[in-house]
Copies of this chain bind each other. A is one copy, B any other.
Amino acid sequence: MGPAEVAAGAALAAQQGARVLLFGPAEQMGAPAEGVELVDAPVSIAKSADPARAVRSTPESSIVQATRAMAEGRAHALVCAGGTGAALAAGLFNIKRARGVHRPALALPLPVPGRPVTLLDVGANAQARSEHLVQFAFMGAAFASAVLGVRRPRVGLLSNGEERERGNELVVQACTALLQHAEEGRLSFVGNVEGGDLVTGVADVIVTDGFTGNVALKLMEGVSQTMLRAVRDAAMASWRGKLGGALLRPSLRAFREDIDPEGHGGAYLLGLRQLAVVPHGRFSREGFARAILRAQRGAMEDVVGATHLALERAEILRRVPASADPASLRDSI
């Protein structure tokens, strides 16, 4: 997704009513469309190996300028085309963690047939504690409700079996706490779910630690790409295959649309004081526009406020001030 494609996505979103403040290389982005205000910011830290350091040392970069604009109240949601590492680092630095949130989490609405299944955390924190997972459950539910429009989202906890006593220590602890919240009516918790349930739709939100979530996400991508490639190779291997593939294609269209990764805007960084969306680097202008419109919806529906309210009602807000925790950036991607 080059700067020109990003600018085209911004234009598309503006046509659909979004007001966009665009930070990027003006030279490659061309004249801004109506509804888009362009701020020239030619420096990118998207490819940095150490995003946290790059954020501190490169205040002129587009992502740092964009997050600073949010801190100053000039924008209300972030869409970052430069990858999750930079978005997380700049988000923690300028937007900051929401009050009472232990750790931000990266949530991805998985493009599965039917309605999306939001998996979180897919990689913001490799190491988690059970109180993190419990917050993720409420954060994910508030997100699915406000941004994806799912009514009373059903939340599952990813484990190696459905029984409540299954799982590693982290999951067993989190399951006990979540069952308590469910019993007291604060969360629609369906219990432990297994790996295969990421595609069955038994839950709208599936909670896991960032290590397992990242492994699962990359595995899904790998398996589906391998299978699509095998079908495509078979369809190119002979004239019979070519003809077969061509005949099958129209019937497969609905499925391909269902599993279109651009359909849900990308990954969402939850737990900051404002919403941040990270569309995938391979997205087209349409996917990028979708990300902007979803971010706008999140801001208008006040996903951050709804999350805070849910955490407050469940009495699981963090008590120590966020700034006192030196680990806040340690596990970032």
Residues on A lying within 8 angstroms of B by beta carbon are 112-113, 123, 126-127, 158-161, 166-169, 171, 194-200, 208-212, 214-228, 230-231, 233-235, 237-238, 240-241, 243-252, 255, 333
Please provide the 3 A-B residue pairs with the shortest distance between their CB atoms, ordered closest to farther: A244-B247, A196-B222, A195-B218
- Complex CA distance for A216 and B212, rounded to whole angstroms: 9
Q: How many copies does the complex hold?
A: 2
B-chain residues with CB within 8 Å of residue A247 when the two chains form the complex: 240-241, 243-244, 247
- Known A210-B160, A211-B167, A211-B171; contact A112-B248, beta-carbon cutoff 8 A: no
- Known A211-B171, A216-B195; contact A248-B222, beta-carbon cutoff 8 A: no
Most buried by B among A113, A159, A223: A223
- Complex CA distance for A251 and B167, rounded to whole angstroms: 41
- Known A160-B123, A166-B126, A248-B235; contact A255-B243, beta-carbon cutoff 8 A: no
- Chain B residue with Cβ nearest A172: B126
Contact of A223 (CB < 8 Å), options: B214, B220, B244, B245: B220
Q: How far is the CB of A159 from chain B (nearest CB, A)?
A: 8
- Complex CA distance for A210 and B214, rounded to whole angstroms: 16
Tell me if A234 and B251 are in contact (CB < 8 A): yes
Tell me if B216 and A216 are in contact (CB < 8 A): yes
B-chain residues with CB within 8 Å of residue A166 when the two chains form the complex: 126
Tell me if B222 and A219 are in contact (CB < 8 A): no
B-chain residues with CB within 8 Å of residue A196 when the two chains form the complex: 218-219, 221-222, 225
- Chain B residue with Cβ nearest A239: B247
- Complex CA distance for A221 and B223, rounded to whole angstroms: 9
